[in-house]
Amino acid sequence: MRNVRLLTAAALCALSLPLLAADAPAKVLVYTRWKWVKNQQTGAVVDKGAFHHTSTEAAADEISKYFNANGYPCLVTDDPAVFLSDAFKSIKCVVFAVTNHEQFQTDAQREAFYSFVENGGGVVAIHSASANERGSKRWRDFLGGAFERHYVKHQSVPFKHADRSHPAIACLPPDYVWADDEIYLNHPDEKVRPLLTLDWEDVLEESRKTDKNGKPACGGHVLEWCKTYGKGRIFYTALGHNPADFGKMEFQLHLLNAAKWAMGELPDRLAVSADAKIEKVIDGVRLVRNGKEIWRFNLATRENKPFVHPLCLPDGRCVTDARTSDHPWHLGLWFCWKYINGLNYWEPRNPAAGNLFPDGMTVIRDFDIQPSGAACDVKLKLWYGPRNEPGRVLLDEERTVSFSAPDGKGGYRITATHRFTAREKVTFDCRRPIGYGGFSLRMASLMREFTLTGEGGTPDAAKNVAGPKEMTAVTYTCPKTGHGVTVRMLAPLPAERIYTWADHRFANPVPMYAEPLVLEPGGKMELRYEVTVF
């Protein structure tokens, strides 16, 4: 398997600021400063005594890699001169990537940063960023809190006390548990909006500290919050002590949505319609709003392939098509490999005769439906193997499909995570020169009237062809209503392309378009996609 690999943080830091800005104007500044400490008595800045989190470099590398892949070019640096540079003019959000201590060398740099936020710039501050500018009341008031201490031991953090109306929280499953972290106590002020709180009962016994009345001695159990500063938005998370944390795709998505919110690209609150509800049905699960089925996830299917159909816009029009006359194996929104070890898992043996079973078998072994209000997670276990060798399994998959609750305008999001483990050597391939296979959206004929745009590149509307490798998303928009659907690759593979039809009725991120993908026995691969209906 080929891993996603873009410029590392070290490589980005090695480039000069003007060169980065000239090549690709950055939208996000990933700031990594930690080693300068200011003597509060003399005002002298000295290069000693600073605490360095080893997660700083991992944060810069993984955040820039993930943000770049999703259309948010990053500039990575620890040089405070950036705040007065031409490169900073294109920046929309500053990410303090596990920074620490003094962040600026001159008052001009400091004022340029605060002015940036006051005038609408976004900020995402991670972990020890609450210890920036130590002793500065201005920073404390700006961020909304300041580091005081951390617990004796690392511990897990359940997201059961979380504000799920915030976009950075809503993208995580309702039962999500952060595995392990160094828990910071920051004493947030009353002006912040708490997003994630650690319940006193969940604090490890060794870390509990009470006053003479037996009450918690520190009220800083708010681990994530957001606030405004002038016209700007600020998001803070105390999570992120461990370097490996930043390689977790759920944390990467969490931070990306936090940055989008900070830049004003996502709403302050995701309103949930009271009349929308999840219903389990005989063949799967669906969302019903005002008595109308908005989406249905079909799990008991004759093809044994799970798929979503119908998939409806906020105005009620269905954008998917399934079991069409021209391609009866197309199933609305679904996932299917094309070839595994040369065997066809995509197309039936003889569709004209009603035989819709391909030579390769996709088998749903188990599934678990987990509704939460008007949101829902579905966790599946699947395996893949040749139909003529019953019991032989080449590949296992664990899949999570998460449906967000509708927002105030009726829009919603579907996130699909596919984790594969090979039992034998497995080669994934597709037909060429036009390749297809994998995550797919077959759309209704009404989509012919929609406009098609790409993110990171331009789709070829003249013929059925895969777009450029830089294109990570395609959006279909109704010119009359503004409603539509976006299909996005999250952290795409280098060989991945988005294949579309010229008549706007098919979109398919092909993970092995340019060349085959190979997994050795025991090898693992993860694919992640997002569909946004607006």
Query: pLDDT per residue over 273-301, tens digit each?
Result: 557 899 999 889 999 987 889 999 999 88
Cα 65 to Cα 9, 268, 387, 392, distances in angstroms: 8, 26, 39, 37
Phi, psi of 57 (to 5 degrees): -65, -40
Give mean pLDDT, residues 188-211: 69
Q: What is the mean pLDDT of residues 253-257?
A: 92
**Domain count of the chain?**
2
What is the average pLDDT across 7-29? 48
pLDDT value at residue 171: 81
389 & 430 share domain:
yes
User: Can you list the alpha helix ranges (DSSP code H) found in 479-530?
Assistant: none
Write the CATH number for 320: 2.70.98
Residue 8 reports pLDDT greater than 50 = no
- What's the pTM? 0.56
- Both tokens of 278, joined, read 């999840």
Residues 183 and 96 in one domain: yes
Mean pLDDT of the 422-445 span: 92
Q: Is the peptide bond preceding residue 194 cis, with omega within 30 degrees of 0?
A: no
- What pLDDT does residue 10 have? 32
Instruction: Supply the DSSP string of 190-238, one letter for each residue.
Output: TTSEEEEE--GGGS-GGG--B-TTSSBS----EEEEEEEETTEEEEEE-
Assess contact for 177 and 159: CB atoms under 8 A. yes
- Please give the Cα distance from 348 to 102 (Å, whole number): 63
CA distance 498 to 513: 9
From 213, 239, 262, the end of a domain falls on: 262
Same domain, yes or no, for 498 and 453? yes
Amino acid residing at 118: E
The fraction of the chain above a pLDDT of 70, given in percent, is 82
Q: Confidence class of residue 214 from pLDDT cuts 50, 70 and 90?
A: low
Count the Cβ atoms, other than its own, within 10 Å of residue 369. Answer: 15
Q: What pLDDT does residue 468 have? A: 87
Instruction: Report residue 69 CA to chain centroid gap.
Output: 11
Q: Are residues 286 and 217 in the same domain?
A: no
Confidence of residue 47 (pLDDT cuts 50, 70, 90): low
Residue 197 confidence (pLDDT):
80
Verify that 103 and 210 share a domain, yes or no. yes
Q: Is the pLDDT of residue 179 over 60?
A: yes
Tokens of 3: 């891993």
State the average pLDDT over residues 73-82. Answer: 94
pLDDT, averaged across the chain: 84
Q: Which residue has the tokens 């954008």?
A: 319
DSSP-derived secondary structure letter, 251: H
State the maximum Cα–Cα separation within the chain, in Å, rounded to a whole number.
Answer: 87
Query: Do 329 and 218 share a domain, yes or no?
Result: no
pLDDT bin (cut points 50, 70, 90) of residue 100 is: confident
Contact 379, 370 (CB under 8 A): yes
Residue 408 pLDDT greater than 60, yes or no:
yes
Kindly tell me if the per-residue pLDDT of 533 is higher than 60.
Answer: yes
Residue 3 within any structural domain of the chain: no
Across-strand partners of 318?
312
H-helix or E-strand containing 180? strand 177-181
- Asked whether the CA dihedral 136, 142, 144, 147 is positive or negative, the reply is negative
Selection from 261, 245, 248 nearest residue 491 by Cα? 248
HEC-encoded secondary structure of 48-78: CCCCCCCHHHHHHHHHHHHHHHCCCCEEEEC
Catalogue the E-assigned strands of 302-374. Answer: 307-311, 333-336, 339-340, 343-344, 360-372
Does the residue 234 lie in any domain?
yes
Inform me whether the pLDDT recorded for 22 exceeds 60: no
Regarding whether 357 and 234 lie in a shared domain, the answer is: no
Banded pLDDT at 257 (limits 50, 70, 90): very high
If asked whether residues 106 and 181 sit together in one domain, one would say yes
CB 440 within 8 A of CB 508: yes
Q: Which residue has the higher pLDDT, 109 or 15?
A: 109
Which of 262, 286, 312 terminates a domain? The answer is 262
Give the domain range for residue 326: 276-533
What pLDDT, on the 0 to 100 scale, is given for residue 32?
Answer: 93
Strand partners, 257: none
Q: Cα separations (Å) of 164 from 153, 225, 276?
A: 27, 12, 16
Query: 255 and 305 in one domain?
Result: no
Give residue 315's pLDDT band: very low, low, confident or very high (50, 70, 90): confident
Structure tokens at 308: 């979503």
Q: Is 501 a domain residue?
A: yes
pLDDT score at 181: 65
Structure tokens at 48: 């000693």
Over 50: is that where the pLDDT of 429 sits? yes
CA distances from 48 to 37, 45, 51, 401 (A): 7, 9, 9, 48
The stretch 299-320 carries a mean pLDDT of 93
Report the CATH number that the domain containing residue 217 is assigned in CATH. 3.40.50.880
User: Is residue 1 pLDDT above 60, yes or no?
Assistant: no
What length is written for the chain? 534
Closest CA to 344 of 356, 354, 332: 356
Q: Which two tokens stand for residue 223?
A: 């681990």
One-letter amino acid of 98: V
Residues 6 or more apart whose CB falls under 8 angstroms from that of 516 comprise: 427, 428, 429
Residue 431 — very low, low, confident or very high, per pLDDT cuts 50/70/90?
confident
How far apart CA 510 and CA 525 sit, in angstroms, is 14
364 located within any domain: yes
pLDDT for 435 equals 82
Reduced to 3 states (helix: H, G, I; strand: E, B; else coil), residue 4 is coil
4 within domain boundaries: no
- Examine the domain organization and report whether 256 and 288 are in the same domain: no
Residues 454, 474 contacting (CB under 8 angstroms) = yes
Q: What is the DSSP letter of 79?
A: -
What one-character-per-residue DSSP string does 121-139 give?
Answer: -EEEEEGGGGGBTTT-HHH
pLDDT band at 491 (very low <50, low <70, confident <90, very high): confident
Is residue 255 domain-shared with residue 366, that is, in the same domain? no
| pLDDT number for residue 23 | 57
pLDDT at site 270: 79
pLDDT over 70 (residue 18): no
Residue 411 has pLDDT above 50, yes or no: yes
* 181 domain-assigned: yes
Half-sphere exposure of 370 (CA within 13 A, CB side): 14
**pLDDT at residue 19 tops 50:** no
Q: How far is it, in rounded angstroms, from Cα 76 to Cα 60?
A: 7
Among 262, 290, 323, which residue terminates a domain?
Answer: 262
**What does the pLDDT average to over 404-420?**
92
Least-confidence region, from 202-216, 232-246, 348-362, 373-387: 202-216
Instruction: Specify the DSSP class assigned to residue 318.
Output: B
Together in a domain, 181 and 298? no
Residue 125, pLDDT > 70, answer: yes
497-508 pLDDT, tens digit each: 999 999 999 999
